[in-house]
Structure 1
Amino acid sequence: MTQIIQQALNKTNDYSAIKDIKRVAGGSINEGFFTETENGRYFIKHHANSPEGFFELETDGLLLIKETKTVSVPKVLAFSDKKGEAFLIIEWIEGRKTPETQARLGEQLASMHQQFGEKHGFQKDTYIGTLPQPNGLFSNWLDYYRDRRLRPQFELGIRNHFIGGKRRERLERLLYRLEHWIPEEIPPSYLHGDLWGGNWLPGPGGNPYLIDPSFLYGDRHFELAFTELFGGFSQEFYKAYTGEFPFADYYEDVKPLYQLYYLLVHLNMFGESYGGQVDAVLQHYV
């Protein structure tokens, strides 16, 4: 790894001697390393068998969030998607949470969600973990969510033998009746796309940073629903968010429906341990 890391650092024009390399725990997709040279401190992600465009897409997401000037993201220093040597180098972010950190994150995320694209979706296909996410730009959020989010996971689940019988029947009925719950006129907010508790961290002064995006434009409540699925966000976060941008009246009606996408992703990635949660959502709607 030292040779790969040195080659990666050369892409940043840092040719100085490496002083320290430490493996950073926490990611299930990539290998992560804290690296310090005579000139700087970096976080380097490496994937030995990354899919096409993997780190380029992550870079795109970080830059789009940065352009909103609402919530901080690490500075991207270099990336490569070369097979066997793919990497992403970003600045090393270090800090501690303060009592205000999560409130700041709520306020800043609400500000980001008030930045809008012209259409829903994204112009490039992306990934959730390493699973492909087919995209495209849609004038209608309902069509995008059904045809580019739920349906591909549904079809993958069938191929993986995780979706069949009653589960398949209920999912088919839900896809057919989706318009009963999702409003047609929804503005396409800037979304992180994979915002669980492990994809933000505190930086200097306790300022929150977003990491590891899977960017798209869409219904902001899709993002908010995922924040509630696995935890990691405090009541101060939600209070601050709603103080800037209150939830729409339909949020509670669609929350499990939006969480269903991420549960299907986890079903396809990790197996039947998520099947019960998928079935509970389906029983709620069908």
Structure 2
Amino acid sequence: MSQQTCGFVAIVGRPNVGKSTLMNRILGQKISITSRRPQTTRHQIMGIKTDKGAQFIYVDTPGMHIQSRDRNKAINRFMNQAATQALRDVDCVVLLIDRTRWTDEDDVVLDKLTHVKAPVILAVNKVDRLGDKRDLLPWLETLQAKREFAAILPLSAKHGSNVAELESEVAKYLPESIHYFPDDQVTDRSQRFLAAELVREKVMRQLGDELPYQMTVEIEEFRDEQRIIHISALMLVERPGQKKILIGENGERIKSIGREARLDMERAFGAKVMLNLWVKVKRGWSDDDRALKSLGYNLD
């Protein structure tokens, strides 16, 4: 029997650098939702890839951000804790940054890695957007001075360039081990969880800056009957004005969100989906630890 390897790989970085896009690219399918808005990812999400004798267990994490007055709600603290917790007991860390931009929040992430014993690979994302590629080499040399990285790789998660090279680099640090998951499993999350995330993604993509972060989705029903999945999802907001935005004029916005989410669910689940959406006002949920736990924001 050939040698098997298996290990955990944390993908970390500040908000909106492309962590979820990178994991989806590696897996070849959508597991983590994406949008142009920072802090789209709120949970740790495992993406599992088994390639021959190697099993990579990637952990997509919320963007680590600076705590400030407007970012000190319970949900912001939860996201920072979830990202930090992902660094425990991993075999390798991929630190993702955005092109030639280094911010104070990148420093926050780098500081969190100070005591991490696992090798850290620095991945410089979105290099396809660089106006002048000649800027890249001196920038990579500057990055080498920030800490001792196991490797520094420029890549494009969106287009896939150099992603295979990143995977080869990560493979060097997977320990010899039995596989923790079946070879055909791609995530630790349930279809119910993915359904909620797909609805939330459509809200974030369609409403952009119109709707603040105080919106979450709770699945009230998930029933599979003869290859038709019946899903009832409740979108929670904090104020009546937000509810009005989500529903839209004559209900057009909620219909559009539902249509796009349903099509993505049918692709993901390989079945016909009947989706019902509702909006409810639940004041203060994003700054209430007990409410967050009841809505599935757990660090277990």
* Greater helix proportion: 1
TM exceeds 0.5?
Answer: no
TM-score with structure 2 setting the length = 0.25
